[in-house]
Amino acid sequence: MEKNKINFEVCGLPFKIFVPFFIMVMAAVYLGFIPTAKLADGLTPSSFVATIAYLMAIGGLFFWLGNAIPIVNNYLGGACLLPLLGASFLNYVGLVPQTMVSGVKVLMSGGFQDAYIAMLLVGSILVMDRKILLNATARYIPTVIGSQIFAIAFAMIAGLITGFGPVKALFDIAAPCMSGGSGGAVTTLPKLYSELSGTDMMTEAGKFLCYASIANVVAIVMAATFGGITKNSKVINGGGQIMRKGVQEDLTAEKRPATSADYKALGGGIFMAFCLYLLGNILGNVPGLKVIPGLAWTIVLGIIIKCTGILPAKYEDNCVYSMNFALRALLPMLIAGIGINSLKFSALTEYFSIGAFIVIIIAVLGAFLGALLFGHLTGLYGYEAGVTAGLCCCNIGGSGDLAVLSAANRMNLLAFASISTRIGGALMVIWIGILYRLLH
């Protein structure tokens, strides 16, 4: 009987300790005692203390529920999906006070998500074995391209099945889902279409964002579902390793410590991660280098540091500590914050139709299967390639990467997912630009 007992642990606390603290937070939020901050533009958001406590409380609770509910936990990405959809639903039905909504907006738009990504991105690169990183990167870009070819082909076939036609299905429905996240769907793609057609297409931004949001949820569900299906296949599922064992058999992976009792080391890791993120942003704004986004430059910097060995291993470990701190302490509240601030239930239903939904599912499936196939051919594990090179090309950007990787339990592959979102998104825009001229 003890084996079947559900282990309640939220924010690192057991039930009898968590509940009193949860009540404190809810009392402050819903009885009108939220600490607030005054901003110059007249906005009165909840303070960081109230905002973070609220997101930790509801995000942690939904995260635990997602892990505890059978089927939902293993096949529907519940640990990530419930905080995302649950927090968004609470906001949609008006159960999140406007002061708290404003506080979440200030926190998320003020860079909390960037801070999380910086720690994860730098740590996920520096935790990797140097030789494996070089080999995997060389095999990864062809996998991204193969995934996109499949996604385009599947989208056009879906257009024939649903009656939209190949052209409309590709350019109006599937392309926004693979154009580099919500920013690509809202700005890049409408601007590209406007230039190519000579007609103002910026009015389509809302519809494109809706389709990208739906694709994001589909990608999360597929990541968890295929993880459950392939978990017993040692040929397809690498258990978190992206390089197949037969390809890397001559490589000895480095053993890296996951954490440390030296909190100065943790602080140093956070500082270095933030600095590399800032330098990436600088390079992304230098004339001649703008073709590569700042986040992609952060990846490049991390790879340079790892491949050259210019940073002593013990300081690389500090960045690994910061990554694990972000993963274990901040993930549930981050996902809940994304749900309140970025995922809108109304947007998911405003442009919804069964036909569009079918096109999105088939296109996302094509991206996954294409990455799985090409990844296998280039020496990568199919599932890990499918999640990172495929599904992470079909979401709303950085937060989508976090959600998909969390559902797949592959957060250590964030560096590859970010390549898919940034570089892959740029490649898809190029594909769409070429095909638009050919097919119109």
Chain position carrying tokens 């589909």: 218
Looking at residue 4, its pLDDT comes to 54
Chain position carrying tokens 């927090």: 87
Chain position carrying tokens 């197949």: 244
How far is 320 from 301, CA to CA, in rounded Å?
Answer: 16
How far is 135 from 140, CA to CA, in rounded Å?
Answer: 9
How far is 351 from 388, CA to CA, in rounded Å?
Answer: 27
How many Cα neighbours within 13 Å face the side chain of 56?
22
Looking at residue 191, its pLDDT comes to 77
pLDDT (tens digit, 0 to 9) for every residue of the chain, 440 residues total? Answer: 344 566 888 988 999 999 999 999 999 999 989 999 877 667 789 999 999 999 999 999 998 998 888 766 655 556 777 888 889 899 999 999 999 999 999 998 888 888 888 888 888 888 777 776 676 677 888 999 999 999 999 999 999 999 999 999 999 899 888 887 776 776 678 878 887 888 877 667 767 877 888 888 899 999 999 998 998 888 899 888 888 765 554 444 456 666 667 789 999 999 999 999 999 889 988 887 776 667 778 888 888 898 888 999 889 999 989 988 888 888 889 889 888 887 777 766 667 789 999 999 999 999 999 999 999 998 899 999 999 999 998 887 777 888 899 889 888 888 888 888 777 877 787 888 888 888 87
202 with 342: CB under 8 angstroms?
Answer: no
Looking at residue 385, its pLDDT comes to 94
Looking at residue 101, its pLDDT comes to 94
DSSP annotation string for 326-394: IIIIIHHHHHHHHHHHT--HHHHHHT--HHHHHHHHHHHHHHHHHHHHHHHHTTB-HHHHIIIIIGGGS
Predicted TM-score (pTM) of the model is: 0.71
251: left (phi over 0), alpha (psi -120 to 50) or beta: beta
CA angle (398, 402, 406) in 5-degree steps: 165
Looking at residue 246, its pLDDT comes to 58
- The partner residues of 380 in beta bridges, in order of sequence, read 243
Looking at residue 1, its pLDDT comes to 39
- The partner residues of 36 in beta bridges, in order of sequence, read 46
Sign of the CA dihedral with 400 first, then 406, 409, and 415 last: positive
Taking alpha carbons only, the member of 252, 253, 274 closest to residue 318 is 274
Distance of CA 147 to the CA centre of its chain: 18
Residue 101 burial (C-beta neighbours within 10 Å; 0-12, 13-18, 19+): middle
How far is 319 from 53, CA to CA, in rounded Å?
Answer: 25
Looking at residue 2, its pLDDT comes to 45
Task: Say which amino acid occupies 34.
Answer: I
